[in-house]
Amino acid sequence: MKRREFLQLSTALLASGALGAMRPAFAQTTPGMGGTIRVAMQAQPGSLDPHMTTADATAQVARNVFEQLLALNSGYQYAPMLAESFDQSDDGLTFTFHLRQGVKFHNGKTMTADDVIASLEKWITTNSKKTMFEVHTLAAPDDHTVVLTMAKKVYGVLEALADNGQFAGIMPKEIVEAADATGVTEYIGTGPFKFAEWSRDQFVRLVRNDDYQPLAGPPDGLVGDKTAHADELIYYFVADPSTRIAGIMTGEYDVADSLPIDYYEQVRGNADLDILKRSLNLVAIYNKKEGLLANVAMRKAVNAALDSEAIMLAVQSFPEFFRLDPSYMYEEQANWHSTAGANQYSQNDPELAKKYLAEAGYANEPVRILTSKDHAHLFNSSVVIQQQLAAAGMNARLDVYDWPTTLEHRGKSSDWDITVTGFPLVLAPTQLLYLSANWAGWTDDPTIAKHIAEINASTSLDEAKAIWQALQGYCWEDYLPVSKLGDRIAYAAYSRRLLGLASLEGGVFWSAGFAG
């Protein structure tokens, strides 16, 4: 295919993909085997153990090395990966997973049910969805079957096992047993790439797993045939965005991740580069435990004053890089996307805000917005919010710290009223952290708890969906645990020499390679 046709086709693909930013895009030519893919990442993962942290950098790198029982396909639905099939009992409490046979770990060991159980137990102990699994049993009736029994019916067990963030990667039992308080000390999985080397603050180097046993069928999101093409996949940690972009323009890197919006013009003007898009939401959390915003009238006042378009424009600069969407779940998640309560979204109504302030008996106390300059999108949105609240008659104040200090303050209910943050994708709304009483914001409302319990007890997706619609409506109209601001569309630039690059919550590199 000629270069011009390729450019036209990929532009068309990009344009059509602009709204469905998370739908994976495929280039049209097939890559050959060999070569080294060099990815410039912004941040070094703290750990390569996927059980230990929700950090995106960890999931990005680790998902090449480890696989799960179930994983996400291109439609964001769970599909078989290491489990070739699974059943759920009629009462919804027992899940039986039939493992694929003869799958080998990178150290040559064959995967059995014992390895799966050890890995899942470790994952359950450390992951943020663990309250779901509080009371459970895992058993192996034979070497290739794992049975998970829950004490009570909870929605989203399969989604949790398939989730991409802090994912339930399967490791050999011996490696799991040798892990310490901060995770495993060796990275052995079943994935298309093997861990080779981690040079701290420099790079992580992965090499192709030549003994990889793929699933049948074409590559499909994070399932399907994941046979790797490149000989090596190297993630470089390049903190400075100007270095990442200079590197990709001079051909030193093939992919430059997390580029700031300021560089988009440069990338757009460069015919050798293309972009991958990824949606990330932006949410303003309210402190409902202590302080001014524990009063719902104050929260309504703040929400009424917000103009989401102005906020998102300040953060993202170009309209094609954000979406105004009141839905708590992403647009791409057809099962859960909802516009319930949309009339409360982005009202931009200072007069209404003042009315609520009067109702709340507001006496010009400071409204403390906690933020950090270490993340431009959080800081910029907080600055605009402060302005909007001030225009509505509130004594809004920005408390700016570095990231670790911000995290520390965020854990204390005495220290802040509003803070903006972004969230990783969750596969079921019951997993939304800001609806939990244990997380910053301290949402503790009986109606919300009741709806979540009903979703957990539901017997069909349609039933759960209807309950969720009602719950989102209640959140926007009555309780306001948070104000969703919008969806940011982040982008990564990649060289057009890299063929077959797909994306799903980040670049998917096993299907990618260079011209043969």
Partner 1 sequence: MREYIIKRLLMLIPVLFIVSLVVFSIIHLTPGDPAAVMLGETATQAEIDALRQRLGLDQPLFGQYLNWLGGLFRFDLGYSYFMRQPVAEAIRDRIVPTTSLALLAEFFAIVTAIPLGVAAAVRRGTVTDTALMGTSLLGMSIPSFLLGLFLVLIFAVWLRWLPVAGYAPLQAGLWPHLRYLILPALALGLIQMALIARMTRSSMLEVLNTNYINAARARGLREWLVVYRHALRNAFIPILTIIGHSFGVLVAGAAVVETIFNIPGLGQLIVNSVGRRDYTVIQGGVLFITLIYLLINLGTDLLYGLIDPRVRLGRR
Name residue 131's amino acid: T
User: Is residue 47 involved in binding partner 1 (CB under 8 A)?
Assistant: yes
Cα–Cα distance between 52 and 99 in angstroms, integer?
A: 24
User: Is residue 54 involved in binding partner 1 (CB under 8 A)?
Assistant: yes
User: Is residue 372 involved in binding partner 1 (CB under 8 A)?
Assistant: no
Cα–Cα distance between 187 and 463 in angstroms, integer?
A: 41
**Reduced to 3 states, what is the DSSP secondary structure of residue 479?**
helix
User: Is residue 407 involved in binding partner 1 (CB under 8 A)?
Assistant: yes
Q: State the nearest-atom distance from the C-beta of 425 to partner 1, in Å.
A: 12
Q: State the nearest-atom distance from the C-beta of 403 to partner 1, in Å.
A: 7
Return left, alpha or beta for 435; rule: phi > 0 is left, psi -120 to 50 is alpha, else beta: alpha
Instruction: Using CB atoms within 10 Å of the CB of residue 142, give its burial: 0 to 12 exposed, 13 to 18 middle, 19+ buried.
Output: exposed
Q: Binders of partner 1 among 15-44, rule CB under 8 A?
A: none
User: Is residue 270 involved in binding partner 1 (CB under 8 A)?
Assistant: no
User: Is residue 272 involved in binding partner 1 (CB under 8 A)?
Assistant: no
Cα–Cα distance between 116 and 190 in angstroms, integer?
A: 12
User: Is residue 181 involved in binding partner 1 (CB under 8 A)?
Assistant: yes
User: Is residue 201 involved in binding partner 1 (CB under 8 A)?
Assistant: yes
User: Is residue 402 involved in binding partner 1 (CB under 8 A)?
Assistant: yes
Q: Binders of partner 1 among 226-255, rule CB under 8 A?
A: 236-240, 242-243, 246-247, 249-250, 252
- 3-state SS, one letter per residue, for 277-320: EEEEEEEEEECCCCCHHHCHHHHHHHHHHCCHHHHHHHHHCCHH
User: Is residue 101 involved in binding partner 1 (CB under 8 A)?
Assistant: no
Q: Report how many residues bind partner 1 under the rule CB under 8 A.
A: 45
User: Is residue 421 involved in binding partner 1 (CB under 8 A)?
Assistant: yes
Q: Which of 63, 226, 409, 488 binds partner 1 (CB under 8 A)?
A: 409
Q: State the nearest-atom distance from the C-beta of 185 to partner 1, in Å.
A: 7
Binding range to partner 1, per CB under 8 A, among 14-22, 198-206, 223-231, 382-390 = 198-206
What are the residues whose beta carbons fall under 8 Å from the beta carbon of 491, sequence distance 6 or more?
Answer: 259, 264, 267, 275, 276, 277, 278, 321
- 3-state SS, one letter per residue, for 198-253: EECCCEEEEEECCCCCCCCCCCECCECCCCCCCCEEEEEECCCHHHHHHHHHCCCC
Q: State the nearest-atom distance from the C-beta of 412 to partner 1, in Å.
A: 9
**Reduced to 3 states, what is the DSSP secondary structure of residue 81?**
coil
Among residues 202 and 387, whose Cβ is nearest to partner 1?
Answer: 202
Q: Assign 3-state DSSP to the chain and report helix, strand, coil percentages, each to 5.
A: 35, 25, 45
User: Is residue 200 involved in binding partner 1 (CB under 8 A)?
Assistant: yes
Among residues 146 and 433, whose Cβ is nearest to partner 1?
Answer: 433
Cα–Cα distance between 290 and 133 in angstroms, integer?
A: 29
User: Is residue 486 involved in binding partner 1 (CB under 8 A)?
Assistant: no
Tell me how far CA of residue 96 lies from CA of 81, 93, 171, 380, 459, in angstroms: 14, 10, 19, 47, 18
Q: Binders of partner 1 among 128-157, rule CB under 8 A?
A: 128
Cα–Cα distance between 380 and 422 in angstroms, integer?
A: 13
Q: State the nearest-atom distance from the C-beta of 398 to partner 1, in Å.
A: 17
- 3-state SS, one letter per residue, for 16-45: HHCCCCCCCCCCCCCCCCCCEEEEEECCCC
Among residues 114 and 290, whose Cβ is nearest to partner 1?
Answer: 290
- 437: how many CB neighbours lie within 10 A of its CB? 13
Among residues 254 and 307, whose Cβ is nearest to partner 1?
Answer: 254
Among residues 94 and 126, whose Cβ is nearest to partner 1?
Answer: 126
Binding range to partner 1, per CB under 8 A, among 20-28, 170-178, 385-393, 432-440 = 432-440
**Both tokens assigned to 462:** 């349609």
Among residues 202 and 469, whose Cβ is nearest to partner 1?
Answer: 202
Q: Which of 408, 444, 462, 477 binds partner 1 (CB under 8 A)?
A: 408
User: Is residue 433 involved in binding partner 1 (CB under 8 A)?
Assistant: yes
Binding site for partner 1 (CB under 8 A): 46-47, 52-55, 126, 128, 166, 181-182, 185, 199-202, 236-240, 242-243, 246-247, 249-250, 252, 374, 401-405, 407-409, 411, 421, 423-424, 433, 436, 438-439
